[in-house]
Structure formats: structure tokens, C-alpha cells
Amino acid sequence: MLKDAQSNIKDELDENLTLNECVLMIGEWVPMGTNQIVALNEKLGSSERVQGGFFTNVVDPDPDSSEFVGSNEGLTSVDILDFDDTGYVNYEAEIHFPEEDGIVQVENFGINCNADGFIMYGMECNAIMHAVKDGLSLDNMSRLLVDVHSDSSAVVDNLLSPHQRAMLDLTYLNDAASRDKFNVLFAEKICKEGVEEQLKAEMYLDREANENELRQVLGDTWASHDISDEQVLIIGRNGILLGGPGVREHEPLVASYLSLMTRNMFMRSLFQRTFILADVLKEIRRLIDHHETNPNSMRMIRELLADASSDVILLGEIQSYLHESMANFEVPSAPTTTSGRRLFEILNIEASLH
């Protein structure tokens, strides 16, 4: 299968920075509570003898039939790893989404769903194109992340309730399938073409080739830090990159930071949605003030008011989920290692809560 694999990339890539032994942690926040986790565990069959199975949000056209006729393309295969009835569920999802002819993609997520709404996807990046484990191009990594974002949205949407999907569609203007997620990349080494040693942190934000490649996976880059002699941290708007030997020891601390950043990203989208609602209300006010000039304005006003009222109710519900989620957030304790304490100071999770 792999020997016949093809590529649909037509660009000539300039590989300035590459990653060795890369692990991805991708996070998002969705409106969720204890009731939703209980329902999710029931849907997955977490407590049953035969757990998991194939899941999809496609409606069966013949529900009275004793079998579902169709291919496995578009389905999500779920294998339960660990769960708590009212707290969380950890499972592995194998992706069976259709690809273009000649494209071979082997994709498995480890997914953690919490009752506070934080969802984390984890995967080891074993190979991209010709690079196996080492020498993973940031150009190719950015393409991989776009695909992972899309597939992970489809995986979770297969398992969310219709009401949760309605809240996501409201927040993301009916484009929830393309919603942003926060990226965390761990690499045993960040390699620079023609340079043997890993660069110091300030050399990555050079406003030239290095920084341009990093922006593809992290968004606008804000800062870079040396957290030890061998480990670096690069922070962007939509992600962070940790490079150096043993950086995965910081996973628990980074997971807490990731949890907080996913809430921040969701709130950015939510505020944008409230601004749109405010514009709709201004338009309703204008129509009311000038209703005598247009005989059809009363019907339009009623329709706009009905839609706005529905949106306000859902936005209020989303706000209550966010408030409950933040109320239960626990700041992690400072690590004991020197690099861990340095990372703890830079991320400054406690200050981000206020």
C-alpha cells in the first residue's frame, strides 16, 4: 500500500527548519458538562462488555432495517482506554475518512474528553512524506496540522449531541468543522539546515526564513526562550513549540497551559459572535424606527427578533458552561527541575486566569 503512495503537493518546498521525533498535542474547548460526559460514555459503551465501535453522525436512511449498509469511509473507529462515568473518557480513534486517489494516510488519535469541556488530541508523528521520524519539514507539518484539525473536528462531531453541535455552529457561524485549535509540538531537536547544533531561542525569531516557517504551525510568533542549555520554547498565537532532549517531561504542565489557551481561543470566537449579534440588534432597532416606510418590515422584524432571541439563549448557556469550566480550573504546582521551573515562570498560568 505504502509503496504506491503518491503526493498531491505541487509546490517546491524550501525546508529551512525540520523536527526530530515530533509529538503533537492539539486542544480545543467545547461546551460540555457532567451530563454530556455521562451521555458520551453511554454512547461509546464505556461500561459495557463490548466497548467502542464505529460511529458517525450520518442519519441511517433505513432505520427499520437490521443492518447498516455502507462503507467504512467517513466512520470513526473508537477503542476505549480509560473512563470515569461523570468525569472524563480517554479513547483511541482510528480515522477512516476518504482521501484522494493515491494518497495513503494512517491516522490514529489518542483523545481525552473532560467534563470541563477541554478536549485534547495526542499523536506521535512517525513519518511525513519521505521523512521517517527525523527531518520532519515544517512546511509538511503545517499541511498535516490542517488535516488533523479537520479530521479531529469530524471525529468529535460524530460523538457530540445535536445541542452541542448547535452551540458550536452558533459560535463559529455555521463553520464549526473549520474551527481553530491550539497546537503544541514537542521535538527532540529543532534542526537548522547546515547547522549541527540546535539554535538558541532568539535565533528562531529572525523575521526571515526561520520565523516564517514557524508561523505556519504556531501563528504569529510572540516570544522565544531558552528554558535550559538544550531546551527552547517558542510561543505563537495559535501554538507553542518545545525543542530539545527530554522536553516531553513537561507534558503535564504544558497540558494545563493548553487547557487554558483553548478556552481563550473559544472566547475570542464567542466575542466575535456577540459583536455580530449586536449589529443585528442595531438593524432591528433601525427597522423599528422606520417601520412606516416599508410595509414588509414587520415580518422581517419578527423573524430577526426570533433568531436573535434564540441566539441570546444559546450564548447565555455557552457562557454558563465557560464559567463553570473556569471555576473548576486548578493551577498546577511548580515542577522540581530547573527547566520545569523556568517553563512554569514563562507560561505564568496563574496570571492568565485573571
Q: How many separate domains does the chain show?
A: 1
Distance CA(301)–CA(304), nearest Å, equals 5
Q: Pairing state of beta strands 75-84 and 88-96? A: antiparallel
pLDDT at residue 214 in the model: 93
Q: Is residue 287 part of a domain?
A: no
Q: Pairing state of beta strands 182-192 and 239-243? A: parallel
Express each pLDDT in 76-101 by its tens digit: 778 889 999 999 999 988 876 655 55
Q: Is residue 249 part of a domain?
A: yes
Q: Is residue 288 part of a domain?
A: no
Distance CA(99)–CA(310), nearest Å, equals 38
- SS3 string, 279-300, reads HHHHHHHHHHHCHHHCCCHHHH
**Among candidate residues 142, 167, 144, 145, the one with its CA nearest the CA of residue 157:** 167
**Cell representation of residue 8:** 498531491
Q: Is residue 160 part of a domain?
A: yes
Q: Is residue 270 part of a domain?
A: no
Q: Is residue 63 part of a domain?
A: yes
What amino acid occupies position 156?
A: V
**Cell representation of residue 330:** 486548578
Residue 112: give the domain boundaries: 2-261
pLDDT at residue 209 in the model: 86
CB 18 within 8 A of CB 114: no
Strand-pair partners of 235: 223, 240
Q: Is residue 195 part of a domain?
A: yes
Write down the pTM of the prediction: 0.87
Strand-pair partners of 55: 76
pLDDT at residue 130 in the model: 79
Q: Is residue 316 part of a domain?
A: no
**What is the phi/psi pair of residue 184, to 5°?**
-125, 125
Name 30's Cβ contacts closer than 8 Å, sequence gap at least 6. 117, 119, 156, 160, 164, 167, 168, 266
The segments of the chain whose pLDDT lies below 70 read 1-13, 50, 52-61, 63-64, 66-75, 96-106, 354
**Count of C-beta atoms within a 10 Å radius of residue 69:** 8
Distance CA(76)–CA(341), nearest Å, equals 40
CA dist list (Å): 179 to 8, 27, 168: 24, 11, 9
CB 158 within 8 A of CB 145: no
Strand-pair partners of 128: 131
Residue 289 CA from chain centroid, whole number: 44
